[in-house]
A and B are shown apart, each in its own frame.
Chain A
Amino acid sequence: MTQLAPGADAVKSTAAPAQRQGPSSWRRALLPVVVVALLVAVPYLTPGYLSFLIVMGIFFFIVLGLDVFLGQAGQVSLGQTLFIALGAYGAGILSLRYSVPTVLAMAVMAVVSAALAYLLGRLFLRLRGYYLSLATLGLAVITVSLANGLGDITGGPSGLVGIPNIGVGSFVAVSDTANYYVVLVVCLLGSLFVSGLLRSQTGRALAAISSDQQAAAMLGINPARYKTAAFMVAAVFASVGGSLYGFYSRFVSPDMVGVLVALNLVVMLALGGSRTIVGPLLGVFLLQILPQAGQSVAAYEPLLAGVVLVIVITYLPQGLWGGVRTLVQGRFRR
């Protein structure tokens, strides 16, 4: 248990930059502190759900990255599993077969994913709307075929077994509790980064591109450059998420990077609502909890997810969280 202390400290210190200065804003600063304290206490409050929370955290992190590309820049990628696979298989193989330290392996694959996203970005981002979606869907199909087909490298359909747990030096995150803190720190850092983007000039430039590329260009915003950078952010988040998943479950299989997973990521974002931190969290939670509700429901999971998605997109285009916020703001105005 003593090895957990550094993780908890890191969590507290990352929360500090989120606070605003000024005597009147201490109430606003209090909320993140309470939330972080609760998150730190979770392993002691609800030990039974740790595995669920770790996987949920990893998917939240991946969806957060996708939010930069899809929610903020308005570009649909159905191929994020390519980068999840790069992160999961790449870091897994590097640490398993070549004894590369886990964190270094994760970082290397993040850089590789960013580089590939840059090249694909140059190639794809001239495409618009449905064409971009189709091209990225192609990436998802290629990914799962390669995961199955390149058996010598990936272990084929039976997967890559025996990946080590993540660790730094002599510290190795073996227990669920330790893994939970690792994922928690990564998620908090990711949330700070994405919310920083969202509220800054970069977020506004992405919003301009998503609503009107010509008008954005006339403001000196290079759409190709911004879209490529947003795609790279999404790729790095997916890659790191993939690596974390491999290190946690110590196993990667083609199921993990299937086409349905790629679709689910988009569903999670649309369901919860984009351009917020709570939206992706809500979407991931709902889609992750569905299979937990019992075997009878699990069989209908894609159907249920699909129906809910259609309803949300039709009636709540800002997602569930966006809908709740509109409702609350409407109350206050009156």
Chain B
Amino acid sequence: MTLLLEVAGISRRFGGLQALTDVSFSVEERSVQAIIGPNGAGKTTLLDIITGFTRPDRGDVTFEGHPITHADPFRLPSMGLMRTFQSARLVPRLTARENIMLGGHYLTRAGFWSTGLRLPSARREEAALRVRADAALRFLELSRFADIPASDLPAGTQRLIEVGRVLAGSPRLTLLDEPAAGLDDTETRELADVLRAVKSSGITMVIIEHNMGLVMSVSDRVLVLDAGNRIAEDVPEAVQKDPKVISAYLGEVPA
């Protein structure tokens, strides 16, 4: 097994708040790594640091052996890394299909000239993107929403469209920020099926999630953060029984 992502000794302070203290973990290729923890534990900050939106005060992020701690976010997809956001950040005025087509945008070469002049090369790329997007829509069983503007879709569907966007880009690693937030039980079960299918298609995943059922059912390893500190990192069954984890979630248990 090869290590795809290595996060080493990350610390980050926002004003008086120590958001992350010396957090390390690594993700093996084709595995699913969950990151859990109470609100304010620093989960999203960690994701933002991995994807270059926030710089750490200390520590390094390495992807496939390449340091990406100070990489511009827009260079990451072509290195093989994509992410989704806590609340889906689709382009409201574009349709579901067009939004998913954007997932494969980094694979295209056509710029202003060739698209403005409608050159054959640009049209071919456009057709290929469309095929990828329609395949992702079918995979997610969302084909009926293809031509509906993203702004008219319910929040749960929007989040799935964002997952479809990742599928269209087929990166090596994808980071999902609370994909089940706001979904009902049925939708969450559907999402779990989708994530398992994504995993079996060979995409490595890092998932921030609150829904324990989802975490336990899809992840291979779980990292637990509390107030910016790593308090556990193990297989799901072991983490569930860890007294430090239980007390972080339920408060101090009197001995």
Contact = CB atoms under 8 A, between A and B. Distances in A.
Given A218-B82, A219-B165, A211 B74 contact: no
A147 to B, nearest CB: 29
Contacts of B106: 219-221
Given A196-B116, A220-B76, A221-B105, A207 B91 contact: yes
A216 B165 CA distance: 12
Interface stretch (A127-135, A198-206, A290-298): A198-206
A175 interface: no
Contact of B74 (A201, A222, A233): A222
Contact of A220 (B74, B93, B129): B74
Nearest to A203: B115
Interface string A183-208: 00000000011101100111111011
B115 A211 contact: no
A212 B51 contact: no
B101 to A, nearest CB: 6
A197 B112 contact: yes
A57 interface: no
B91 A194 contact: no
B112 A201 contact: no
A186 B34 CA distance: 57
Interface in B48-100: 51, 53, 72-78, 82-83, 85, 89-94, 98
A222 B74 CA distance: 6
A197 B115 contact: yes
Contacts of A215: 85, 89-90
30 contacts: A17-B118, A192-B118, A194-B116, A197-B112, A197-B116, A200-B118, A200-B126, A201-B105, A201-B108, A201-B110, A201-B126, A202-B115, A203-B115, A207-B94, A208-B102, A211-B92, A212-B89, A216-B74, A218-B82, A219-B82, A219-B165, A220-B75, A220-B76, A220-B78, A220-B106, A221-B74, A221-B105, A221-B106, A229-B111, A233-B112
A211 B98 CA distance: 14
Interface in A153-201: 192-194, 196-197, 200-201
- In order of increasing CB-CB distance, the 4 nearest A-B pairs are A220-B106, A220-B77, A200-B115, A215-B89
A217 interface: yes
A214 interface: yes
Sorting the interface of chain B by its residue count into under 10, 10 to 19, 20 to 34 or 35 or more gives: 35 or more
A223 interface: yes
Contacts of A233: 112, 116
B122 interface: yes
A194 to B, nearest CB: 7
Contacts of A222: 72, 74
A126 to B, nearest CB: 13
Contacts of B179: none
Given A201-B126, A204-B105, A205-B105, A214 B115 contact: no
A310 to B, nearest CB: 23
A214 B82 CA distance: 12
A28 B109 CA distance: 30
A205 B102 contact: yes
A208 B94 CA distance: 9
B51 A218 contact: yes
A201 B94 contact: no
Given A17-B118, A204-B101, 11 more contacts: A197-B116, A200-B115, A200-B126, A204-B94, A205-B105, A208-B94, A219-B105, A219-B165, A221-B102, A221-B106, A233-B112
A217 B106 CA distance: 10
B220 interface: no
B94 A218 contact: no
A229 B126 CA distance: 20
Interface string A274-309: 000000000000000000000000000000000000
A200 B91 CA distance: 15
Given A219-B77, A221-B74, A229-B112, A200 B122 contact: yes
B116 A218 contact: no
Nearest to B92: A211
Nearest to A200: B115
A176 B63 CA distance: 64
Contact of A218 (B73, B98, B112): B73
B10 to A, nearest CB: 19
A215 B169 CA distance: 14
A205 B91 CA distance: 10
- The residue among B75, B77, B115, B117 with the most chain A CB atoms within 10 A of its own CB is B115
A150 B97 CA distance: 53
Interface string B129-165: 1000000000000000000000000000000000001
A52 to B, nearest CB: 29
B53 to A, nearest CB: 6
Given A217-B73, A218-B51, A221-B105, A201 B116 contact: no
Contact of B91 (A196, A201, A204): A204
A211 B112 contact: no
Contacts of B126: 200-201
A208 B117 contact: no
Contacts of A17: 118
B37 interface: no
Contact of A202 (B101, B103, B112): B112
